[in-house]
Amino acid sequence: MSETKEDQIALDPQVQAYLDRLARADFGSVHTFTPEQAREGWRRQIALLGEPEPIAQVEDRTIPSANGPIPIRIYTPNGEGPFPALVFFHGGGFMLGDLDTHDGLCRSLANGAECVVVSVDYPRAPEHKFPAAPDACFGATQWVAEHAANIGVDATRIAVGGDSAGGNLAAVVARMARDNGPALVFQLLIYPDLDFRRTNFSIREYAGKYGNISRDAQFWFMDSYLNSEAEKLDPKVSPLLATDLADLPAALIITAEYDALRDEGEQYGQQLDEAGVAVTVTRYPGMIHEFVRHPFDASKRARLDAATALRKAFTR
C-alpha cells in the first residue's frame, strides 16, 4: 500500500507534543553511539512512557537454550489458571530494548487479554548476530509449551507477538512453529520490521522524520544484526519475502500512519490474506513508530484492540 502526501492526515497533537520534546532534548543520531550508549539512552526514556499498571504477579526467570541461558519475565494476571499465553519479543532494531523497556506494554497486554505474557530477553546484536535472536525466540516459545503446566499456562492456547524488530521475530517464529511445533493460535505483529530491502514508499518518505530513524541508522542496525548483505533476502530476516505463508496462525497487524515500517506491515497482511490466513490490519491515523508503548489516547485504543484480538483467539 502506498499514498501521496495529499492522502495524509495531520500528526496527532499528542504525538506532535512528544516529538517537540524530543527535538528540544536533541538526543543525537542513534548510529553515532556505541550499542551500550544507545541502549542506555532507550532505558532513560522509560520515564516518558508513564507509570506501568499493576498486575497480580511478575516473575523474572532464566531458561536454558542450545546457545546459552535466556532471561524471561512472566506476567500473570488476576484469576485462576491455566491461562492462555502470549510469548512476547521486544523491539529495538535487534540491538536495543530489554525486559524493562517493554514492561508497561507487557503488563497491559496481560491484564487486557487475561493471559500470561512471557517476555523474552533474546540475545542482541552486534554481540550476537543473526540467527541468534530468532533461534532464541523459537526456543523460548518451545520452552513455554513444554513447561506450560509449571507456569500456569494452557499449552493449547499459545500466541506469539512483538513490536518492530520483535514483530519480525514473532512472524519468523510463527513460521518455525508451524513447521516444527508447538501449535500456535495467534500472532500479534505491532508495526513489524519485515523487509530489509528498505525500498517501499513509507521507508523512503518517512526515514529521519516523525521520530523514525534515518537511512544511515537503518543500515547501522541492519549491518550490526547481519553477517552478510545476502542475508537481507533470507525469509528469516525479511518475512515479507517468504513464499510459504499458508496454514499460519491468525494475525493482527498494527501499523501507524507516519511509521517508516508501515507499508511492509500492510503488504505482509495482504500476503497472509492471499495465503488464506485470517488477518486484520489496522492503521492508526496520525501515529508514529513505537506509539503503542506511549501514553497517547490512540495507544490505549491499540492496546485494547490487541487484547481483544488475543482474547478472541484464545477462546476459539
Q: What is the pLDDT of residues 262-282, one digit of tens each?
A: 999 999 999 999 999 999 999
Q: Which of 111, 105, 139 is nearest to 254 (CA)?
A: 105
Q: Average pLDDT, whole number, for the chain? A: 95
Mean pLDDT of 110-121: 98
Q: What is the band of 6 on the pLDDT scale with cuts at 50, 70, 90?
A: very low
Residue 45 pLDDT? 85
> Lowest-confidence range among 37-41, 42-46, 181-185, 238-242?
42-46
Q: How far apart are CA 222 and CA 95, in angstroms?
A: 10
Query: For a pLDDT cut of 90, what percent of the chain falls above it?
Result: 88
Residue 1 pLDDT? 42
Q: Where are the beta strands (DSSP E) in the chain?
A: 57-63, 70-76, 83-89, 116-120, 153-163, 186-190, 250-256, 279-284
Overall residue count recorded for the chain in this entry? 316
Q: What is the band of 2 on the pLDDT scale with cuts at 50, 70, 90?
A: very low
pLDDT in tens, 135-170: 999 999 999 999 999 999 999 999 999 999 999 999
Q: What is the band of 7 on the pLDDT scale with cuts at 50, 70, 90?
A: low
- Count how many Cα atoms sit within 13 Å of the Cα of residue 37 in the half-sphere of its side chain: 8
Residue 5 pLDDT? 46
Model pTM? Answer: 0.96
- Count how many Cα atoms sit within 13 Å of the Cα of residue 166 in the half-sphere of its side chain: 29
Q: What is the band of 191 on the pLDDT scale with cuts at 50, 70, 90?
A: very high
Q: Which residue has the cell 487486557?
A: 112
Residue type, 244: D
Catalytic site residues? 164, 259, 289
Residue 47 pLDDT? 82
**Domain with residues 5-315, CATH architecture:** 3-Layer(aba) Sandwich (3.40)
Residue type, 59: E
- pLDDT greater at residue 234 or residue 22: 234
Integer angstrom CA distances of residue 228 from 114, 130, 222, 225:
42, 10, 10, 9
Under 8 Å between Cβ of 172 and 231: no
Integer angstrom CA distances of residue 290 from 183, 203, 227, 230, 249:
29, 15, 27, 28, 24
Q: What is the band of 96 on the pLDDT scale with cuts at 50, 70, 90?
A: very high
Residue 28 pLDDT? 73
Q: What is the band of 127 on the pLDDT scale with cuts at 50, 70, 90?
A: very high
Residue type, 62: T
Residue type, 209: K
- pLDDT greater at residue 259 or residue 44: 259
Residue 243 pLDDT? 95
Q: What is the band of 25 on the pLDDT scale with cuts at 50, 70, 90?
A: confident
